[in-house]
Structure 1
Amino acid sequence: MMLTCIAVDDEPLALRLIANFIEQTPFLQLVGSYSSAAAALRGLQQQTTAVDVLFLDIQMPDLNGLELARVLDKGPGTDKPRVVFTTAFNQYALEGYKVDALDYLLKPFDYAEFRRVADKALAYANATRPTAAEPALLPQEDYLYLKVEYQLVRVDFRDILYIEGLKDYVKVYRQSEARPLLSLSSLKSLEERLPARQFMRIHRSFIIALNQVKSVSRSTVQIGSATIPVSDRHREAFDQFLSRWK
């Protein structure tokens, strides 16, 4: 698999270094090199094919790297480049997490560090991009991948107990682990990726695995040691589920 890349940095030497590293990597293809975020945005808008990875400096005049990442994150379409920030400052980790950055390269970095991130980008693409031989993340699969602390974690459907939504994050509670997984995702987007025959939204903040339900009442569900409320909005669908228990 070949990944298309764009490099953005207002320092000519840093931009040339990233471009050289991309050209040294067999599965990366450089399709654009820009000295400002504004020029990169125009270039991305003019691209006729999707860009897979954006190597992006943060501190730049006018539009900075974080602002560009936010613009892209809010833009239309699903074929958005994964961002790798290249920066001399490490205080942007939280902001980078909010825009779903794939990783960081802290300046100065060498090719070994660059290759580690490139390999990570390739692994992500292989896990999420559909191919003719093995479609990824289709409904008939029995697992999904979640972004957890700059890595992809495979979660089997049969391992899920329930999922709790917390604003921009979700907590996934599993049988196999005592601690839940925390992932930057909305409950709605996760609901769309889960098979309806196995999972049900019973509250604005909760999705449950139906085969994990131990007991039910009119207004709650018991899963393991957790008691989960059923909201009025989801009561009709829940009542239909209850009717199958009778």
Structure 2
Amino acid sequence: MSTINLVIADDEPLAISNLKAKLANYPNLNIKACFDNGDDTLQYLQQHQHEVDLVFLDIQMPGLKGIDILKQLNKASAMAAPLLILVTAYEQYAFSAFEHFAFDYLLKPVSRQRLAQCLLDARTALDKQPELPPSTHHKLSFRTGASTLLLDDIDIVLIEAAGNYMCIQTLSESLVIRETLKELLQRLPGHFVQVHRSTLVNLHHVHKVQPHNNDYQFTLSDGKIVNASRRYKQNWSKMLSEC
């Protein structure tokens, strides 16, 4: 089992000590550095990004906050290394964390069971990094009747059928268009895949894939849970980690 190199950033020495004590139970983990402020953390990650697999990142720190670091790293996918785990005592930051491609979100005090599940998910993601097409910021056009919408493809999280229309869910709003799923599949980039009879997902926004009954569930970067039918697994299995 390969070594996972990780960084811990937290302004509370006791929090770092407690987390290090729990992580000591996993011999394949290598703590490369610990920081007590956001500025030093960001500088280190920018200089050593390709040497770090996993980051435990406190949200409230002197200097740059955890969310600020997420924004400045400008990740295109939650699954892209280094995987960023937000650690905080405040639940209200979860949406913003996933919006900026955090891999996971842990509430303090971090339980051993929750940490074990987080590390298992991280190991799966790192062992089988998704081979997604390069993330782009190209404009995509959609018909809404008499007018046309122009959207950045990276802003689109998923598209779902809604009666005779399709509903586009972006990072900030929901929009209704007058196109069919079949028409969209013929012209959208390859990272938009059908995962259910009525659902298209932008794979750049997939945060987690897990079995659910006889099918799968996707957790997206905005926290939304999407059912994915086994029937459509061939559409995404080569680009995302297998469950």
- How far the C-alpha of 1:138 sits from its partner, in A, is 8.7
Equivalent in the alignment of 1:20: 21
Q: How does 1:1-246 map to 2 (within 5 A)?
A: 1-47=2-48, 50-73=51-74, 80-128=81-129, 137=131, 162=185, 172-174=193-195, 177-183=196-202, 185=204
8 A Cα contact 1:6 1:54, kept in partner: yes
When structure 1 is superposed on structure 2, of 2-11 and 107-116 the one drifting more is: 107-116
For residues 94 and 138 of structure 1, the distance between their equivalents in structure 2, rounded to whole angstroms, comes to 24
Cα shift at 1:123: 0.3
Other structure's SS at 2:91 match = coil
What letter matches 1:9 in structure 2?
A: D
After superposition, the C-alpha distances for 1:35-78 in whole angstroms (9 at most, x for unaligned) are: 11111123234438510001000012221000011111269xx9
2:122 and 2:186 map into 1 onto residues whose CA distance is 27
Residues 65 and 163 (structure 1 numbering): CA distance in 2 closer, same or farther, change over 3 Å? Answer: farther
3-state SS of paired residue (2:19): helix
Structure number, greater radius of gyration: 1
CA distance in 2 between partners of 1:118 and 1:15 (Å): 17
Moved over 6 A (4+): 163-166
Describe the shift of the 1:97–1:49 C-alpha distance in structure 2 as closer, same or farther (beyond 3 A).
closer
SS, match of residue 110 in structure 2: coil
What CA distance in whole angstroms lies between the structure 2 residues aligned with 1:42 and 1:61? Answer: 14
Give the aligned length: 154
* CA distance in 2: counterparts of 1:96 and 1:48, whole angstroms: 19
**3-state secondary structure, aligned to 2:61:** coil
CA contact (8 A) 1:23 1:29 kept: no
Q: Which amino acid aligns with 2:60?
A: Q
Superposed CA RMSD: 3.4
Unaligned runs of 5+ in 2: 134-156, 159-180, 206-243
The amino acid that maps onto 1:137 is E
**Structure 1 residues 97-151: Cα deviation after superposition (integer angstroms, max 9, x where no partner):** 12111111111122221111011100001111xxxxxxx7399xxxxxxxx99xx
Structure 1 unaligned segments of length 5 or more: list them: 129-135, 140-147, 150-159, 187-246
Deviation of 1:21 (Å): 2.3
Q: Distance in 2 between matches of 1:81 and 1:48?
A: 7
